[in-house]
Amino acid sequence: MKFQNLASAALLASSLALVACSAEPESVAQAEPEGIPGMSVENARLVLAPVSGNPAAVYFDLKYDGDKGLSIRRADVSGASEAQLHAYGEWEGKMQMAEAMPIAITKGKEIAFKPGDYHVMAFGLPDTLAAGDTVEVTLTVSGGDKYSFDADVRAAGDER
């Protein structure tokens, strides 16, 4: 009798193991959020450099009405080998451009990414990129959420 109970228990355990193996696994990964609630961008444009091979600049108007305070930590531009957030500041009595620290945004914040202020520098763009094209720009904020938008490509002499 003990042997039958042991055999029955072993058969039950192996059956449960097979059922568990054959069952489809539950998906525990959740989809990443699309966009950033409360963030919007208008008037986005990438201005090509006057000299081929030099970096281009990306300008846009950002508004944020989300409830959660964030900071913009990174920018990416499609087709660019590298992109950096830049700002101007005074150093040794001169206004100079440098890579920006994370940019804090809170509810009601509006930032004009414009010449002489915050902007994105796009390095290593393909030679085939021309005025009239569009590129995708992606901002990454603290926590890793991303916001992407299209920027119109303009020639070096066009309005920035």
Number of domains in the chain: 1
pLDDT tens digits, the chain, 160 residues: what are they? 444 444 444 444 444 344 444 444 444 444 444 689 999 999 999 999 999 899 999 999 999 999 999 999 999 999 999 999 999 887 888 888 899 999 999 999 999 999 999 999 999 999 999 999 999 999 999 999 999 999 999 999 888 8
Whole-model pTM: value is 0.77
In a domain, 103, yes or no: yes
Which residue type does 79 have?
Answer: G
Answer whether residue 18 is part of any domain.
no
Domain-embedded: residue 9:
no
Q: Is residue 4 included in any domain, yes or no?
A: no
State which residues form the domain around 77.
39-154
Q: What is the CATH number of the domain that holds 106?
A: 2.60.40.1890
- Residue 24 located in a structural domain: no
Assigned domain for 16 exists: no
Rounded distance between C-alpha atoms, residue 114 and residue 159, angstroms: 11
